[in-house]
Structure 1
Protein backbone atom coordinates (compact mmCIF):
# COMPACT_ATOMS: atom_id res chain seq x y z
CA UNK A 1 0.00 0.00 0.00
CA UNK A 2 1.50 3.39 -0.97
CA UNK A 3 2.37 5.94 1.66
CA UNK A 4 0.83 9.42 1.67
CA UNK A 5 4.03 10.76 0.06
CA UNK A 6 3.84 8.19 -2.72
CA UNK A 7 0.17 8.99 -3.33
CA UNK A 8 1.03 12.70 -3.70
CA UNK A 9 3.84 11.85 -6.14
CA UNK A 10 1.65 9.53 -8.20
CA UNK A 11 -1.14 12.10 -8.39
CA UNK A 12 1.27 14.84 -9.45
CA UNK A 13 2.68 12.54 -12.16
CA UNK A 14 -0.88 11.68 -13.25
CA UNK A 15 -1.66 15.38 -13.55
CA UNK A 16 1.40 15.88 -15.78
CA UNK A 17 0.26 13.07 -18.06
CA UNK A 18 -3.35 14.33 -18.11
CA UNK A 19 -2.58 16.97 -20.74
CA UNK A 20 -6.20 17.97 -21.40
CA UNK A 21 -6.95 18.11 -17.65
CA UNK A 22 -10.17 16.06 -17.83
CA UNK A 23 -9.32 13.86 -14.83
CA UNK A 24 -8.63 10.66 -16.79
CA UNK A 25 -5.79 9.51 -18.97
CA UNK A 26 -6.57 8.78 -22.59
CA UNK A 27 -4.38 7.98 -25.55
CA UNK A 28 -4.65 11.56 -26.80
CA UNK A 29 -3.03 12.78 -23.55
CA UNK A 30 0.03 10.66 -24.23
CA UNK A 31 0.29 11.62 -27.90
CA UNK A 32 -0.14 15.28 -26.95
CA UNK A 33 2.68 14.93 -24.44
CA UNK A 34 4.95 13.43 -27.10
CA UNK A 35 4.09 16.31 -29.43
CA UNK A 36 4.88 18.85 -26.70
CA UNK A 37 8.32 17.30 -26.13
CA UNK A 38 9.06 17.31 -29.86
CA UNK A 39 7.96 20.96 -30.18
CA UNK A 40 9.91 22.00 -27.09
CA UNK A 41 13.15 20.59 -28.42
CA UNK A 42 12.49 21.46 -32.07
CA UNK A 43 12.44 17.84 -33.17
CA UNK A 44 11.23 17.64 -36.74
CA UNK A 45 8.22 15.37 -37.32
CA UNK A 46 10.13 13.25 -39.85
CA UNK A 47 13.24 12.81 -37.67
CA UNK A 48 14.42 9.65 -35.98
CA UNK A 49 13.99 11.30 -32.57
CA UNK A 50 10.34 12.11 -33.35
CA UNK A 51 9.71 8.56 -34.54
CA UNK A 52 11.29 7.16 -31.38
CA UNK A 53 9.34 9.39 -28.99
CA UNK A 54 6.08 8.73 -30.86
CA UNK A 55 6.71 4.97 -30.92
CA UNK A 56 7.46 5.05 -27.20
CA UNK A 57 4.32 7.14 -26.56
CA UNK A 58 2.26 4.50 -28.38
CA UNK A 59 3.95 1.76 -26.36
CA UNK A 60 3.53 3.80 -23.17
CA UNK A 61 -0.22 4.05 -23.74
CA UNK A 62 -0.54 0.34 -24.53
CA UNK A 63 1.48 -0.58 -21.44
CA UNK A 64 -0.37 1.91 -19.22
CA UNK A 65 -3.76 0.54 -20.23
CA UNK A 66 -2.62 -3.08 -19.99
CA UNK A 67 -1.37 -2.50 -16.45
CA UNK A 68 -3.96 -0.04 -15.17
CA UNK A 69 -7.26 -0.05 -17.05
CA UNK A 70 -8.89 -2.60 -14.77
CA UNK A 71 -12.44 -1.73 -15.84
CA UNK A 72 -11.53 -1.93 -19.57
CA UNK A 73 -12.98 1.56 -20.19
CA UNK A 74 -10.21 2.74 -22.51
CA UNK A 75 -9.32 5.43 -19.98
CA UNK A 76 -7.23 5.38 -16.82
CA UNK A 77 -8.55 6.90 -13.61
CA UNK A 78 -6.33 8.25 -10.83
CA UNK A 79 -7.10 5.22 -8.68
CA UNK A 80 -6.14 2.82 -11.49
CA UNK A 81 -2.96 4.84 -12.09
CA UNK A 82 -2.01 4.86 -8.42
CA UNK A 83 -2.40 1.08 -8.18
CA UNK A 84 0.05 0.52 -11.06
CA UNK A 85 2.68 3.02 -9.95
CA UNK A 86 3.89 1.02 -7.00
CA UNK A 87 4.86 -1.94 -9.20
CA UNK A 88 8.60 -2.00 -10.00
CA UNK A 89 8.02 -3.95 -13.23
CA UNK A 90 5.64 -1.22 -14.49
CA UNK A 91 8.21 1.45 -13.69
CA UNK A 92 11.02 -0.46 -15.43
CA UNK A 93 8.96 -1.50 -18.49
CA UNK A 94 6.89 1.64 -19.00
CA UNK A 95 7.76 4.79 -17.08
CA UNK A 96 11.53 4.58 -17.27
CA UNK A 97 11.89 3.93 -21.04
CA UNK A 98 9.58 6.85 -21.82
CA UNK A 99 11.43 9.15 -19.41
CA UNK A 100 14.76 8.17 -20.97
CA UNK A 101 13.42 8.83 -24.47
CA UNK A 102 12.47 12.31 -23.31
CA UNK A 103 15.95 12.68 -21.78
CA UNK A 104 17.50 11.77 -25.14
CA UNK A 105 15.36 14.32 -26.97
CA UNK A 106 16.20 16.99 -24.38
CA UNK A 107 19.91 16.22 -24.82
CA UNK A 108 20.16 18.53 -27.84
CA UNK A 109 23.93 18.34 -28.16
CA UNK A 110 23.88 14.52 -27.85
CA UNK A 111 26.46 14.63 -25.06
CA UNK A 112 24.71 11.96 -22.99
CA UNK A 113 24.03 14.54 -20.31
CA UNK A 114 21.63 17.39 -19.68
CA UNK A 115 22.70 20.92 -18.93
CA UNK A 116 20.60 23.01 -16.61
CA UNK A 117 19.30 24.94 -19.64
CA UNK A 118 18.24 21.76 -21.45
CA UNK A 119 16.43 20.62 -18.31
CA UNK A 120 14.72 24.00 -17.80
CA UNK A 121 13.46 23.96 -21.39
CA UNK A 122 11.80 20.59 -20.92
CA UNK A 123 10.45 21.08 -17.44
CA UNK A 124 8.96 24.51 -18.13
CA UNK A 125 6.62 22.98 -20.72
CA UNK A 126 5.48 20.54 -18.05
CA UNK A 127 4.55 23.38 -15.71
CA UNK A 128 7.59 23.18 -13.46
CA UNK A 129 9.11 26.53 -12.56
CA UNK A 130 12.70 27.46 -13.29
CA UNK A 131 13.45 27.57 -9.54
CA UNK A 132 12.01 24.07 -9.06
CA UNK A 133 14.02 22.82 -12.03
CA UNK A 134 17.25 24.36 -10.74
CA UNK A 135 16.72 22.64 -7.35
CA UNK A 136 15.97 19.40 -9.18
CA UNK A 137 19.07 19.76 -11.36
CA UNK A 138 21.38 20.42 -8.40
CA UNK A 139 20.03 17.40 -6.54
CA UNK A 140 20.22 15.10 -9.59
CA UNK A 141 23.81 16.12 -10.38
CA UNK A 142 25.13 13.68 -7.80
CA UNK A 143 28.72 13.81 -9.05
CA UNK A 144 28.64 17.64 -9.13
CA UNK A 145 30.04 17.91 -12.65
CA UNK A 146 27.52 20.53 -13.78
CA UNK A 147 25.45 18.06 -15.84
CA UNK A 148 22.88 15.35 -15.22
CA UNK A 149 23.84 12.04 -16.77
CA UNK A 150 21.41 9.51 -18.15
CA UNK A 151 22.23 7.22 -15.19
CA UNK A 152 21.58 9.98 -12.66
CA UNK A 153 18.29 10.76 -14.38
CA UNK A 154 17.23 7.10 -14.55
CA UNK A 155 18.02 6.56 -10.86
CA UNK A 156 15.90 9.58 -9.95
CA UNK A 157 12.96 8.35 -12.06
CA UNK A 158 13.03 4.94 -10.36
CA UNK A 159 13.34 6.62 -6.98
CA UNK A 160 10.43 8.93 -7.75
CA UNK A 161 8.06 6.05 -8.38
CA UNK A 162 9.33 3.50 -5.88
CA UNK A 163 10.75 5.33 -2.86
CA UNK A 164 8.76 6.41 0.16
CA UNK A 165 11.73 8.33 1.59
CA UNK A 166 10.66 11.98 2.00
CA UNK A 167 14.28 13.08 1.40
CA UNK A 168 14.78 11.10 -1.81
CA UNK A 169 16.18 13.13 -4.70
CA UNK A 170 13.71 11.49 -7.07
CA UNK A 171 10.84 13.26 -5.31
CA UNK A 172 11.84 16.41 -7.19
CA UNK A 173 11.14 14.92 -10.63
CA UNK A 174 7.72 16.57 -10.93
CA UNK A 175 8.55 19.79 -9.12
CA UNK A 176 7.54 20.67 -5.60
CA UNK A 177 5.04 18.33 -4.02
CA UNK A 178 2.00 19.75 -2.23
Structure 2
Protein backbone atom coordinates (compact mmCIF):
# COMPACT_ATOMS: atom_id res chain seq x y z
CA UNK A 1 0.00 0.00 0.00
CA UNK A 2 1.27 3.49 -0.74
CA UNK A 3 0.40 6.58 1.22
CA UNK A 4 1.23 9.55 -0.96
CA UNK A 5 -0.40 12.36 0.98
CA UNK A 6 -0.10 13.11 4.51
CA UNK A 7 0.44 15.14 7.49
CA UNK A 8 2.88 15.37 10.34
CA UNK A 9 5.45 13.23 8.60
CA UNK A 10 3.22 10.18 8.33
CA UNK A 11 3.44 8.64 4.90
CA UNK A 12 5.55 11.44 3.45
CA UNK A 13 7.41 10.50 0.32
CA UNK A 14 4.93 7.84 -0.74
CA UNK A 15 6.55 5.01 1.19
CA UNK A 16 4.72 1.74 1.37
CA UNK A 17 2.70 1.13 4.49
CA UNK A 18 0.22 -1.40 5.79
CA UNK A 19 -0.45 -4.97 4.76
CA UNK A 20 0.35 -6.59 1.44
CA UNK A 21 -3.31 -6.23 0.49
CA UNK A 22 -4.54 -3.08 -1.19
CA UNK A 23 -8.16 -1.98 -0.67
CA UNK A 24 -8.81 -3.01 -4.26
CA UNK A 25 -7.91 -6.59 -3.31
CA UNK A 26 -10.86 -6.88 -0.92
CA UNK A 27 -14.21 -8.10 -2.25
CA UNK A 28 -17.00 -5.53 -2.30
CA UNK A 29 -19.00 -5.32 0.90
CA UNK A 30 -22.45 -6.87 0.86
CA UNK A 31 -23.67 -5.37 4.15
CA UNK A 32 -23.95 -8.50 6.30
CA UNK A 33 -25.52 -8.28 9.73
CA UNK A 34 -22.06 -8.61 11.27
CA UNK A 35 -20.59 -5.78 9.21
CA UNK A 36 -23.56 -3.53 10.02
CA UNK A 37 -23.05 -4.31 13.70
CA UNK A 38 -19.47 -3.06 13.43
CA UNK A 39 -20.61 0.15 11.80
CA UNK A 40 -23.42 0.66 14.33
CA UNK A 41 -20.79 0.27 17.04
CA UNK A 42 -18.59 2.99 15.56
CA UNK A 43 -21.61 5.27 15.20
CA UNK A 44 -22.58 4.83 18.83
CA UNK A 45 -18.99 5.43 19.95
CA UNK A 46 -18.91 8.68 17.97
CA UNK A 47 -22.35 9.81 19.19
CA UNK A 48 -21.06 11.35 22.43
CA UNK A 49 -24.42 12.55 23.75
CA UNK A 50 -26.29 9.43 22.57
CA UNK A 51 -29.04 11.42 20.87
CA UNK A 52 -29.05 9.29 17.71
CA UNK A 53 -27.27 11.85 15.56
CA UNK A 54 -23.65 12.63 14.77
CA UNK A 55 -22.83 16.33 14.92
CA UNK A 56 -19.71 18.46 15.08
CA UNK A 57 -20.43 18.90 18.78
CA UNK A 58 -20.02 15.15 19.31
CA UNK A 59 -16.54 15.25 17.80
CA UNK A 60 -15.58 18.34 19.79
CA UNK A 61 -16.88 16.67 22.96
CA UNK A 62 -14.85 13.48 22.46
CA UNK A 63 -11.79 15.56 21.66
CA UNK A 64 -12.20 17.61 24.83
CA UNK A 65 -12.69 14.44 26.86
CA UNK A 66 -9.34 13.17 25.61
CA UNK A 67 -7.66 16.51 26.29
CA UNK A 68 -8.96 16.54 29.87
CA UNK A 69 -8.10 12.86 30.45
CA UNK A 70 -4.49 13.23 29.36
CA UNK A 71 -4.10 16.79 30.64
CA UNK A 72 -3.08 18.27 27.32
CA UNK A 73 -2.45 21.97 26.94
CA UNK A 74 -1.32 24.40 24.28
CA UNK A 75 -0.35 23.11 20.86
CA UNK A 76 -0.97 19.44 21.69
CA UNK A 77 -4.51 20.19 22.91
CA UNK A 78 -5.21 22.28 19.81
CA UNK A 79 -3.83 19.56 17.53
CA UNK A 80 -6.01 16.93 19.18
CA UNK A 81 -9.18 19.01 18.94
CA UNK A 82 -8.48 19.98 15.34
CA UNK A 83 -7.96 16.32 14.47
CA UNK A 84 -11.46 15.47 15.71
CA UNK A 85 -12.94 18.42 13.82
CA UNK A 86 -11.15 17.28 10.65
CA UNK A 87 -12.68 13.83 11.05
CA UNK A 88 -16.14 15.39 11.33
CA UNK A 89 -15.58 17.59 8.27
CA UNK A 90 -14.43 14.63 6.16
CA UNK A 91 -17.55 12.71 7.15
CA UNK A 92 -20.21 15.41 7.10
CA UNK A 93 -19.41 17.67 4.18
CA UNK A 94 -21.90 20.52 4.41
CA UNK A 95 -24.36 18.71 6.71
CA UNK A 96 -24.99 19.56 10.34
CA UNK A 97 -26.03 16.09 11.53
CA UNK A 98 -26.03 12.45 10.40
CA UNK A 99 -28.39 9.65 11.47
CA UNK A 100 -27.28 6.08 12.14
CA UNK A 101 -29.00 4.78 9.00
CA UNK A 102 -27.33 7.48 6.91
CA UNK A 103 -23.98 6.66 8.46
CA UNK A 104 -24.23 2.95 7.70
CA UNK A 105 -25.44 3.56 4.15
CA UNK A 106 -22.78 6.13 3.40
CA UNK A 107 -19.93 4.15 4.93
CA UNK A 108 -20.83 1.17 2.77
CA UNK A 109 -21.02 3.34 -0.34
CA UNK A 110 -17.71 4.98 0.54
CA UNK A 111 -15.88 1.71 1.24
CA UNK A 112 -17.10 0.14 -1.99
CA UNK A 113 -16.27 3.20 -4.06
CA UNK A 114 -13.40 3.23 -6.54
CA UNK A 115 -12.10 6.56 -5.22
CA UNK A 116 -11.78 5.23 -1.66
CA UNK A 117 -10.19 1.96 -2.71
CA UNK A 118 -7.66 3.56 -5.03
CA UNK A 119 -6.86 6.86 -3.33
CA UNK A 120 -8.95 8.21 -0.44
CA UNK A 121 -8.07 5.40 1.99
CA UNK A 122 -4.58 6.94 2.29
CA UNK A 123 -5.93 10.20 3.64
CA UNK A 124 -8.49 8.61 5.97
CA UNK A 125 -6.00 6.16 7.47
CA UNK A 126 -3.50 8.90 8.21
CA UNK A 127 -6.13 11.30 9.53
CA UNK A 128 -7.36 8.75 12.05
CA UNK A 129 -3.83 7.62 12.94
CA UNK A 130 -2.85 11.21 13.67
CA UNK A 131 -5.85 11.70 15.98
CA UNK A 132 -4.65 8.77 18.12
CA UNK A 133 -0.94 9.66 17.98
CA UNK A 134 -1.28 12.44 20.54
CA UNK A 135 2.39 13.42 20.74
CA UNK A 136 2.88 13.24 16.98
CA UNK A 137 5.95 10.99 17.12
CA UNK A 138 4.71 8.66 14.38
CA UNK A 139 3.66 5.81 16.69
CA UNK A 140 0.65 4.98 18.84
CA UNK A 141 1.65 4.05 22.38
CA UNK A 142 -0.38 1.97 24.81
CA UNK A 143 -1.19 5.12 26.78
CA UNK A 144 -2.36 6.98 23.69
CA UNK A 145 -4.53 4.05 22.65
CA UNK A 146 -6.12 3.85 26.11
CA UNK A 147 -6.80 7.59 26.02
CA UNK A 148 -8.43 7.22 22.60
CA UNK A 149 -10.72 4.52 23.99
CA UNK A 150 -11.58 6.65 27.02
CA UNK A 151 -12.55 9.58 24.82
CA UNK A 152 -15.17 7.43 23.06
CA UNK A 153 -16.46 5.89 26.29
CA UNK A 154 -14.92 2.51 25.46
CA UNK A 155 -13.80 0.66 28.61
CA UNK A 156 -10.07 1.33 28.88
CA UNK A 157 -9.49 -2.21 30.14
CA UNK A 158 -10.36 -3.37 26.61
CA UNK A 159 -7.53 -1.30 25.18
CA UNK A 160 -4.67 -3.65 26.07
CA UNK A 161 -5.98 -6.68 24.18
CA UNK A 162 -7.00 -4.62 21.15
CA UNK A 163 -3.67 -2.80 21.15
CA UNK A 164 -1.78 -6.10 21.27
CA UNK A 165 -3.67 -7.33 18.20
CA UNK A 166 -2.52 -4.26 16.24
CA UNK A 167 1.04 -4.44 17.59
CA UNK A 168 2.02 -7.33 15.33
CA UNK A 169 5.76 -7.10 15.98
CA UNK A 170 5.31 -6.85 19.75
CA UNK A 171 7.49 -3.76 20.23
CA UNK A 172 4.93 -1.95 22.39
CA UNK A 173 4.09 0.59 19.71
CA UNK A 174 1.68 0.65 16.76
CA UNK A 175 3.22 1.98 13.57
CA UNK A 176 1.35 3.46 10.62
CA UNK A 177 1.92 0.12 8.84
CA UNK A 178 0.27 -1.85 11.62
CA UNK A 179 -2.54 0.64 11.98
CA UNK A 180 -3.28 0.63 8.24
CA UNK A 181 -3.66 -3.14 8.27
CA UNK A 182 -6.06 -3.05 11.21
CA UNK A 183 -8.04 -0.20 9.64
CA UNK A 184 -8.63 -2.00 6.34
CA UNK A 185 -9.39 -5.31 8.01
CA UNK A 186 -12.02 -3.69 10.24
CA UNK A 187 -13.80 -1.66 7.58
CA UNK A 188 -13.47 -3.93 4.54
CA UNK A 189 -14.10 -7.43 5.92
CA UNK A 190 -17.32 -9.17 6.89
CA UNK A 191 -15.78 -12.17 8.68
CA UNK A 192 -17.22 -12.52 12.22
CA UNK A 193 -13.93 -14.14 13.28
CA UNK A 194 -11.58 -11.44 11.99
CA UNK A 195 -9.04 -10.54 14.68
CA UNK A 196 -9.58 -6.82 14.08
CA UNK A 197 -13.35 -6.83 14.70
CA UNK A 198 -12.97 -4.96 18.00
CA UNK A 199 -10.87 -2.03 16.78
CA UNK A 200 -13.46 0.24 18.41
CA UNK A 201 -13.96 -1.89 21.49
CA UNK A 202 -16.50 -4.66 22.09
CA UNK A 203 -19.22 -4.76 19.44
CA UNK A 204 -22.51 -3.32 20.62
CA UNK A 205 -25.95 -4.77 19.87
TM-score (norm 2): 0.70
2:102 to 74, 80, 101: 80
Q: Is the CA contact 1:114–1:149 (under 8 Å) kept in the aligned structure 2?
A: yes
Name the SS for the 1:63 alignment partner: helix
Q: Which runs of 5+ in 2 are unaligned?
A: 1-29
RMSD: 2.5
Taking the aligned partners of 2:124 and 2:49, their CA distance within structure 1 comes to: 20
Higher helix share: 1
**4+ residue segments displaced more than 4 Å:** none
Q: Deviations over 1:27-67 (max 9, x none)?
A: 111111222222233221x31x333333333332222123x
Name the SS for the 2:153 alignment partner: coil
Cα gap change, 1:15 to 1:93, in 2 (>3 Å): farther
Instruction: Give the structure 1 partner of residue 78 of structure 2.
Output: 51
Higher RCO (CA < 8 A, seq sep 6+): 2
Q: CA deviation at 1:94?
A: 6.8
Q: CA deviation at 1:150?
A: 2.7
2:67 to 18, 32, 38: 38
> Is 1:24 matched up with 2:24?
no
Name the SS for the 2:201 alignment partner: coil
Instruction: Give the structure 1 partner of residue 23 of structure 2.
Output: none
Q: Which runs of 5+ in 1 are unaligned?
A: none
Aligned residues: 168
Instruction: Give the structure 2 partner of residue 136 of structure 1.
Output: 162
TM-score (norm 1): 0.79
Q: Is the CA contact 1:63–1:94 (under 8 Å) kept in the aligned structure 2?
A: no
Taking the aligned partners of 1:142 and 1:118, their CA distance within structure 2 comes to: 17
